[in-house]
């Protein structure tokens, strides 16, 4: 029997704004730890309509800094374990990855956490005969990386949350948070004031608007990135490691009936529905260059865009904000929100229960991370 729907205007222990992976993972983790009742609000008609549902589904353990790498490893391990008992139809498949990073964007403290093997040119060409020329840098093969059907993970967290009694409200609009005496007290949902002991902002690109509404500014920028599905490359089509070339910046994922490409562009944007900018397919071809001659014969089938949301220091912003009691963040996940989502949910829940002691200080708001300028904004 489905849980009885509560009146939205009743008091809640926790309200979560945002129904993407960060919000749903947080709801599930909080409910498992005994927090409740919980209300999750999503403005769209279905979960994950924005950043969470517009990504490439790459599960990548190594990130650009050691702490994000740690969270990605935790999240990737949990994602793989979710469906490990299935023999068939697993939403996660361990494809492996090959990463080229000649300019050192990935710190040594990241690679020391992730097992990898160095591939020479012969090993690489045996797996990828389509390449006429290897991308710059050393080829590092990460066997444990993979690809994920992201809707399955969204559905998993949503089901976990519902089963634990979380109220999920799709197509609802939250606004006007009220702060009284330095403490969060209520929020308006579809015009109704709702009282709650705590609020988690997991609203992705809209987090900056929430920070301004509460008078606790943060600097968070949504960056546009496009993906392209083209005709499949390679015969016969089969599961192979995805490839990421940090310099000049592109990646590809092999599929059975298509190939996914991205030129890894970063275009500063505004919150809203992401729209394609320029000619992403031409950008892909220019960046891949002479590495894969066959790309010139491929045709783009589908092009879309999504937002990757970053704080200025490119570190996640999680947990309690010391400026307002009861106010918590789950934002700034950049390009690692899918892989790290289970770890993000656990840390935000720990922050609600244990305060700042519940998670790594580098993830939390501080004056050092978000210095104020003369105008009083970050």
Instruction: Print the domain residue range for 109.
Output: 93-146+222-307
Tokens of 206: 């809209």
Structural domain ending residue among the three candidates 287, 307, 327: 307
CATH number, domain at 103? Answer: 3.30.9.10
Q: Are residues 195 and 252 in the same domain?
A: no
Q: Are residues 226 and 303 in the same domain?
A: yes
Q: Identify whether 141 is part of a domain.
A: yes
Q: Are residues 303 and 323 in the same domain?
A: no
Structural domain ending residue among the three candidates 259, 274, 307: 307
Q: Are residues 133 and 242 in the same domain?
A: yes
Q: Identify whether 268 is part of a domain.
A: yes
Q: Are residues 172 and 229 in the same domain?
A: no
Q: Identify whether 71 is part of a domain.
A: no
Q: Are residues 159 and 273 in the same domain?
A: no
Q: Are residues 300 and 165 in the same domain?
A: no
Counting runs of H as helices and runs of E as strands, what totals does the chain give? 8, 20
Residue 117's alpha-carbon distances to 12, 140, 279, in angstroms, are 50, 6, 35
Mark 295-327 as b/e (b = at least 16 C-beta within 10 Å).
Answer: beebebeebebbbbbbbeeebbbbbbbeebbbb
pLDDT value of position 107: 87
Residues 6+ apart with CB under 8 A from 85: none
Residue 34's alpha-carbon distances to 38, 43, 75, 212, 272, in angstroms, are 10, 26, 21, 31, 34
Q: Identify whether 84 is part of a domain.
A: no
Are residues 167 and 37 in contact, defined by beta-carbon separation less than 8 angstroms?
yes
pLDDT value of position 164: 96
Are residues 51 and 205 in contact, defined by beta-carbon separation less than 8 angstroms?
yes
Q: Identify whether 125 is part of a domain.
A: yes
Q: Are residues 291 and 166 in the same domain?
A: no
Q: Are residues 343 and 324 in the same domain?
A: yes
Cα separation, 140 vs 59, in Å, equals 16
Q: Are residues 227 and 295 in the same domain?
A: yes
pLDDT value of position 366: 94
Q: Identify whether 233 is part of a domain.
A: yes
pLDDT value of position 3: 46
Q: Are residues 127 and 168 in the same domain?
A: no
Q: Are residues 101 and 132 in the same domain?
A: yes
pLDDT value of position 158: 96
Q: Identify whether 369 is part of a domain.
A: no
Q: Identify whether 161 is part of a domain.
A: yes
Structural domain ending residue among the three candidates 307, 339, 354: 307
Cα separation, 3 vs 310, in Å, equals 36
Positions of the chain with pLDDT under 50:
1-4, 373-376
CATH number, domain at 321? Answer: 3.50.50.60
The count of structural domains within the chain is 2
pLDDT value of position 2: 43
Taking all residues of the chain, what is their mean pLDDT, rounded to a whole number? Answer: 92
Positive or negative, the CA dihedral 339, 76, 362, 313 is negative
């Amino acid at each position: 029997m489905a849980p009885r729907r509560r009146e939205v205007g009743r008091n809640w222990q926790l309200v979560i704004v945002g129904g993407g992976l960060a919000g749903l993972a947080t709801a599930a983790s909080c409910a498992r730890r005994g927090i409740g009742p919980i209300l999750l609000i999503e403005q769209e008609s279905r979960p994950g309509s924005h950043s969470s549902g517009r990504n490439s589904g790459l599960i990548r353990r190594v990130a650009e800094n050691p702490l994000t790498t740690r969270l990605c490893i935790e999240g990737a391990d949990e994602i793989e374990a979710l469906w490990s008992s299935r023999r068939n139809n697993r939403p996660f498949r361990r494809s492996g990855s090959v990463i080229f990073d000649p300019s050192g964007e990935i710190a040594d403290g990241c690679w020391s956490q992730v097992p990898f093997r160095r591939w020479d040119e012969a090993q690489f060409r045996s797996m990828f005969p389509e390449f006429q020329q290897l991308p710059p840098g050393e080829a590092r093969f990460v066997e444990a990386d993979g690809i994920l059907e992201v809707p399955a993970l969204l559905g998993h967290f949503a089901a976990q949350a519902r089963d634990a009694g979380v109220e999920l409200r799709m197509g609802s609009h939250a606004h006007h948070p009220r702060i009284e005496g330095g403490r969060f007290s209520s929020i308006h949902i579809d015009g109704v004031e709702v009282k709650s002991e705590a609020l988690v902002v997991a609203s992705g690109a809209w987090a900056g608007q929430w920070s301004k509404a509460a008078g606790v500014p943060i600097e968070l920028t949504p960056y546009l990135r496009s993906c392209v599905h083209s005709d499949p490359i390679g015969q016969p089509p089969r599961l192979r490691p995805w490839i990421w070339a940090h310099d000049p910046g592109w990646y590809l994922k092999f599929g059975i009936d298509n190939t996914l490409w991205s030129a890894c562009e970063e275009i500063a944007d505004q919150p809203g529905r992401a729209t394609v900018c320029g000619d992403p397919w031409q950008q892909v071809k220019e960046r891949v260059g002479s590495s894969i001659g066959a790309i010139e014969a491929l045709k783009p089938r589908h092009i879309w865009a999504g937002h990757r949301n970053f704080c200025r220091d490119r570190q996640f912003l999680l947990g309690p904000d010391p400026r307002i009691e009861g106010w918590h963040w789950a934002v700034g996940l950049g390009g690692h929100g899918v892989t790290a989502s289970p770890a993000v949910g656990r840390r935000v829940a720990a922050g609600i229960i244990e305060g700042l002691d519940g998670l790594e200080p580098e993830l939390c708001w501080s004056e050092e991370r978000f210095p104020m300028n003369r105008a009083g904004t970050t």
